[in-house]
Chain A
Amino acid sequence: MAKDNNRFSPKIAAFCCFHSAYQAADIAGAMRKSYSDGIYIIRVPCAGKVEGLHILQAFEKGADGVLILACPQESCHYISGNIRAKKRVDYVLALLEEIGIEPERVKSFNLASNQALRFVQVVSDMAERIKDLGPSPINYPAASGRGM
């Protein structure tokens, strides 16, 4: 497994629910907290909009990791969006195993719109985790030590 962390900058697609994580990210900005520049925020109106398709597409296009950030349980502005998101993520995790992508590369979290510090914690932990895992096996099959 290539642990060439010095040159490997993980690219992580972070699907952020506009009512929670997106606002938390903005407050983190106002607080001038720093986190990995490999985190790219994709705004969605509700985590319930994010599908397995988008998560897989992210890997297809070169993502090393995917985050889905939703409102806390019982606080979804659209009642059940965060629950549906979780179900889809679980489904995708099973698929990922089959195609040889480590399921640890996809994670979902709940946070509220004013949990700026939790946002920074979550994305920073994810960046570290992906750095340890190395680039996505789709991008660099040789580097991950697996054939494709």
Chain B
Amino acid sequence: MNKKRVLVIGGGIAGITSALELAKNDQEVFLIEKDPGIGGHAASFCCKATEICNKCSVCLVPEKMREMVIHPQISLLTTSEVREINGEAGDFRVKIVQKPRFVDPDKCTACGICIEACPVEPQKAINLAYPGAVPPAFVVDNDRCLRFQGEECTICQDKCPTKAIDFAQDSQEIDLDVKAIIVATGFDVFDAREKALLGYGKYPNVLTGLDMEEMLLKEGEILLPSNGKPPQEVAFIQCVGSRDEHIGNGYCSKVCCKYAMRFSRSLQYQNPEVKITIFYMDLQTAGKGFGEFYEQCKENIRFVKGIPVEISQVSPDQLGLRYEDLSQGKIVEESHDLAVLSVGIAPRKNNRNLARILGINLGDFGFFDTLNQVENTSTNIEGIFIAGCCQGPKDIPESIAHSTQAVLRVVRTLT
């Protein structure tokens, strides 16, 4: 009798943790991920240590990724999504669609010959998804690759020494028999363009928290997009896309106050003269050791209660922020050179679709629902569990903890 496997949907930190913990508990696991590589959002975050670790936990992600890809009990299927499921707990029959990845991760050695050969400039159309990507196999960038612009280019395929690239690859359907499913599909980053008055996408020096992460990871420092110089006066605007009745996100995204403060320390480490202001509603500082961290931040970061309503471009390298100075009851405008929008964690737009396929309910705000607020990994369908941010905003350690809870449920009820 074949040992039935557990399906984990989603290769972010929650999915990876779920797969690893299941494997350590003697389970065989299929992990499917819709992107060509695993790691989810957290894989493109950057370490924010100065001399001291700032406990952002980003370093855990590559470590767990590497542990996972070499684990013999975990089978990884990338560019794959669930199309349909039938059956019930103990015996789910799942149809997966695997889109062509074009680059075979088992054959790609990341040698880089394809990058050199690629004719697309200035940024090549084939590369690692992000530095330190796991598995270290290249990915074709659909937005830039000429083949997706209608041209018949096969240069990289021809040059690849291990014949890892195959543009003739087609989608394929895979049938899986599993006894339980853990949904760990993560979140969407709130699209800051929805808050049009804040100028994201309009003014170059308005960035989101995610842009900051990617810049820090790829460049090693934060520089103004407008002139490439280090910023002197930085404003963090909290609660962008969270606690906002107007757009229906009536919840706290939990991670933003913390990441704003950690970024601030990084910026100060980079340039001790930088002036930082954090505009907030209610400062969230709960968590082991975070209170002390906040007290240190208070010494040289200006905290202002009140969220700017509007950002304008005063000059090519200066932004104007308009907010209500609560102490005086007046509207003021002050200038900063860099504005960082601390965007929140939003439910994935695809949740509705996946909920329909799996038969599970959506809860508040479009995250997946759980049986009750305390047992928050079990869904209305027996044998299907949820883990991580797809249930609601969490930071990395909480996603990991939540995933271990889901695994405990699986191990307990279905073995």
Contact = CB atoms under 8 A, between A and B. Distances in A.
A27 B110 CA distance: 12
A113 interface: yes
Interface string B217-235: 1011000000000000000
Contacts of A27: 62, 131-132
Contacts of A117: 219-220
A30 B47 contact: no
Interface stretch (B48-56, B90-98, B140-148, B335-343): B48-56
Contact of B53 (A32, A71, A121): A71
Contacts, number: 57
B52 A72 contact: yes
Contacts of B136: 30
A112 B62 contact: no
Interface residues of A, number: 20
Given A30-B132, A31-B131, A114 B62 contact: yes
B384 interface: no
A30 B65 CA distance: 15
A23 B63 CA distance: 9
A7 B133 CA distance: 38
B46 interface: yes
B107 to A, nearest CB: 17
A74 interface: yes
B14 interface: no
Chain B CB count within 10 A is highest, among A71, A75, A118, for: A75
A54 B135 CA distance: 36
Contact of B62 (A111, A113, A118): A113
Interface in B97-115: 110, 112
Interface in B51-95: 51-53, 55, 58-59, 62-63
A30 B62 contact: no
Interface of A: prevailing SS = loop
A90 to B, nearest CB: 15
A113 B46 CA distance: 11
Given A73-B52, A75-B49, A117-B220, A112 B132 contact: no
A9 interface: no
Nearest to B45: A114
Contact of A23 (B49, B52, B55, B62): B62
A113 B65 CA distance: 13
Contacts of A110: 49, 51-52
B110 A114 contact: no
A110 B133 CA distance: 23
A113 B63 contact: yes
Contacts of A144: none
B59 to A, nearest CB: 5
A114 B220 contact: no
The 8 A-B pairs of least Cβ separation, nearest first, read A117-B220, A75-B53, A72-B53, A72-B49, A27-B132, A112-B47, A73-B52, A31-B131
30 contacts: A23-B62, A23-B63, A27-B62, A27-B131, A30-B128, A30-B133, A30-B136, A31-B132, A72-B49, A72-B50, A72-B52, A73-B51, A74-B53, A74-B55, A75-B59, A110-B49, A110-B51, A110-B52, A112-B49, A112-B59, A113-B47, A113-B59, A113-B62, A114-B62, A114-B132, A115-B49, A116-B131, A116-B132, A117-B219, A121-B220
